[in-house]
A and B are shown apart, each in its own frame.
Chain A
């Protein structure tokens, strides 16, 4: 499979702030890739560098084999929605698209097509200032589709969309991916891209944290057995017995968290029994993808 986007040691400093810090990642052609990271992780800066809007401080990147130093050589194959959609507020949605279509050499027929794709045809004549955030988001996606791009880069495309809108956009992205297009979707929420992404790239503080498919990400999940003695006075004894048996256990309130023992709940139960301890609780706990994402990016999650 060919590489659509190749990023090599890419760095961007804004004064003393290192927005992107030696990022290296390859994105293959075709399919949907989720670019994930908390707010301020460097997603938008990375995207802007790929689009030629920002110059990297150091490092290199190529899009469709062309260096990002020369965006004019590849941008005709790239469509993009960058952060909050920006349009001329006093012009209609259709006229806004006309300005971009004119700049891009696209016909008015293409405007009709993309407006229908994002289901904005009935409001095409309304001023953008009268649009909701979700409608502006749809218009932004329509603008990104004007040139029927090979690579579609969407920065937080689900922002402001209602649940039905999110489902529609996911369906649209899947359809486009099936046409062989490469789609890079950034988000600070794993759940937004989990349903559509074939691969995820997670960055934090400008650095690569994880790169791979969702199944690989799930392998990063922590697994543990949570046990709780009926009598809280037994918890220290139980912890000691677990350590003697070679388990790693931590006390959390009235519970013991035994790492990596998901295949041994029966053994733990027997161990407790052998020490004359009755368990009030014994359960296996797996981290879900969201928890893995938050742990990798050093964010707390209320469980």
Chain B
């Protein structure tokens, strides 16, 4: 599996670099909106309950990571794209043939690929988290945002849950890519589900956010919400992950490679 990992690591460097830069850029953008735009986001100087978070987020123990956790859906989109590109492009370009000739054990090949992309996503989240923290430390004093409650442990906790949530979003992209064998279709479908479909479902099903993947993964990234506890988010996330992996491996193990 180490060979599969190394191979994917080499070939995915350029794409992953772009993805990591995108994550950092998104977090910087969200961070600036949260901290500098805090006044305009609500009364009380720190903002209260605006669309991208509020005072409670910024002054909480993990306030330094507020930009990161707030950006989870956008980071999730990047992660979906990275995983989808990693899986689908080999079918689109026919390179899956070469890979399977070199590594005929399909489970090993797929595991190495997923681990390599996962490592890039984790690097992206960690780098974005570091940038988010630095940005928070620099900007918070100037905006009269209290940092007294901020702790490194809480920030690391949020960094960890955000990374896991990003991987879960990516897994959705990978499953879609395995089913469709098209990067464009899988990325579009993933984003459409994340930004549109799950929200539309929420209009007809009040508790959709408590059960459906995007809501659950976001709740996990935030360390739980008012409606979804962290424990529930973990259990459901693990369930979705296992289901996704079973589908992906089952399809890949049995599929004829005619591309």
Interface positions of A (Cβ within 8 A of B): 14, 48, 51-55, 71-72, 75, 78-80, 82-84, 86-91, 95-96, 98-100, 102-105, 143-144, 146-147
Contacts and interface: CB of A to CB of B under 8 A. Distances in A.
B258 A102 contact: no
Contacts of A102: 3, 6-7, 10
A177 to B, nearest CB: 20
Interface string B228-259: 00000000000000000000000000101110
A144 B98 CA distance: 9
Contacts of B186: none
Contacts, number: 80
Nearest to A51: B101
Give the one of A82, A90, A143 with max B CB within 10 A. A82
Interface of B: 3-4, 6-8, 10-11, 14, 89, 93-95, 97-105, 109, 254, 256-258
Given A53-B256, A86-B98, A104-B102, A95 B93 contact: no
A53 B105 contact: no
A54 B95 contact: no
Nearest to A73: B104
A55 B254 CA distance: 8
14 contacts: A52-B100, A53-B100, A54-B257, A54-B258, A80-B101, A86-B94, A87-B98, A88-B89, A95-B11, A99-B7, A102-B3, A102-B10, A103-B4, A104-B103
A95 B10 contact: yes
A48 B102 contact: no
Nearest to A104: B102
Contact of A103 (B89, B94, B102): B102
B101 A75 contact: yes
Contacts of B101: 51, 53, 75, 78-80, 82, 144
A68 to B, nearest CB: 10
B3 A71 contact: no
Given A75-B104, A95-B10, A100-B98, A55 B256 contact: yes
A154 B3 CA distance: 24
- 3 smallest CB-CB distances across A and B, nearest first, come from A86-B94, A71-B104, A103-B7
A125 to B, nearest CB: 15
Nearest to B89: A88
Given A48-B258, A98-B10, A103 B99 contact: yes
Nearest to B254: A55
B52 to A, nearest CB: 35
A48 B101 CA distance: 10
B12 to A, nearest CB: 9
A73 to B, nearest CB: 9
A88 B93 contact: yes
Nearest to A84: B94
A88 B257 contact: no
A104 B6 CA distance: 10
